[in-house]
C-alpha cells in the first residue's frame, strides 16, 4: 500500500560490521526494541537510521557531486517524507513503526565520500534521523512510509 503522497522506501542497507561495508538488501526484518535483524549495530536509541533521499540529493547537488547514498551508512533510504525536526514522532515504514529519537549527525566518513559533504549535510537534518523500533516486522523496498497523526 502506498500512501497518497507516494512516500516510500527506496533502499535498505545492513551494516555487516562496525565501520564495515554496507550490504544492500531488498528486504529486512525490524525487531521491536532491538533494531534490524542481521545489522551490526543493535539496541539502544539508534536501532534504525533513516536518510531522506531528497535531502541527500540537495546536499550532493550543492557540492556538484554524485555520491551513492549508501555512503551515508544509514539503514533505510526514504523518499516523500521530510525527517527535519521530527524527534518524538512515529514513522510507519511498511507494517513497522519507528519512533524518531534524534538527528543523525554527519561524521568524518562523509569527507571520505566527497570533500565538503560533512558540512553540506549539517543543516536541516540532511544527514538523517535515528530511532527505536516500536513495532517490528518486515520492511521492503517500495513499502509505504508515513507519519502517524
Q: Read off the pLDDT of each residue in 87-94 and give the average, rounded to a whole number.
A: 97
Is 138 inside any structural domain?
Answer: yes
- pLDDT at position 143 is 98
Long-range contacts from 116-120, C-beta under 8 angstroms, 24+ separation: 116/63, 117/59, 117/60, 117/63, 117/65, 117/67, 120/59, 120/60, 120/62, 120/63
Is 96 inside any structural domain?
Answer: yes
pLDDT score of 2 more than 60: no
Is 22 inside any structural domain?
Answer: yes
Is 3 inside any structural domain?
Answer: no
Is 1 inside any structural domain?
Answer: no
- pLDDT at position 4 is 52
Predicted confidence band at 114 (pLDDT cuts at 50, 70, 90)?
very high
The share of the chain scoring above pLDDT 90, in percent, equals: 81
Report which of 149, 102, 99 is spatially closest to residue 128, judged by C-alpha positions.
102
Between 131 and 40, the more confident residue is: 131
Q: Give the count of domains, the chain.
A: 1
Is 120 inside any structural domain?
Answer: yes
Is 119 inside any structural domain?
Answer: yes
pTM tops 0.85: yes
- pLDDT at position 1 is 45
Q: What is the pLDDT of residues 7-60, one digit of tens each?
A: 999 999 999 887 778 999 999 999 999 999 999 877 888 999 999 999 999 999
Give the domain range for residue 113.
8-147
Is 118 inside any structural domain?
Answer: yes
Q: What is the CATH number of the domain that holds 81?
A: 2.40.33.20
Q: Torsion-angle region of residue 114: left (phi > 0), alpha (psi -120 to 50) or beta?
A: beta
Q: Cα(83)–Cα(20) distance, rounded to whole angstroms?
A: 25
Q: Cα(149)–Cα(144) distance, rounded to whole angstroms?
A: 15
Amino acid at each position: 500500500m502506498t500512501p497518497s503522497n507516494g512516500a516510500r522506501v527506496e533502499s535498505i542497507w545492513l551494516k555487516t560490521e562496525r565501520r564495515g561495508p554496507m550490504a544492500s538488501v531488498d528486504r529486512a526484518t525490524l525487531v521491536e526494541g532491538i533494531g534490524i535483524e542481521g545489522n551490526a549495530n543493535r539496541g539502544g536509541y539508534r536501532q534504525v537510521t533513516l536518510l531522506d533521499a531528497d535531502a541527500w540529493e540537495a546536499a550532493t547537488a550543492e557540492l556538484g557531486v554524485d555520491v551513492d547514498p549508501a555512503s551515508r551508512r544509514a539503514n533505510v533510504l526514504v523518499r516523500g517524507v521530510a525527517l527535519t525536526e521530527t524527534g518524538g514522532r512515529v514513522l510507519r515504514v511498511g507494517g513497522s513503526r519507528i519512533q524518531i529519537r534524534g538527528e543523525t549527525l554527519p561524521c568524518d566518513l562523509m569527507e571520505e565520500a566527497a570533500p565538503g559533504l560533512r558540512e553540506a549535510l549539517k543543516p536541516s537534518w540532511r544527514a538523517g534521523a535515528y530511532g527505536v523500533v516500536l513495532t517490528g516486522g518486515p520492511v521492503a523496498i517500495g513499502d509505504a512510509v508515513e507519519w502517524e497523526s
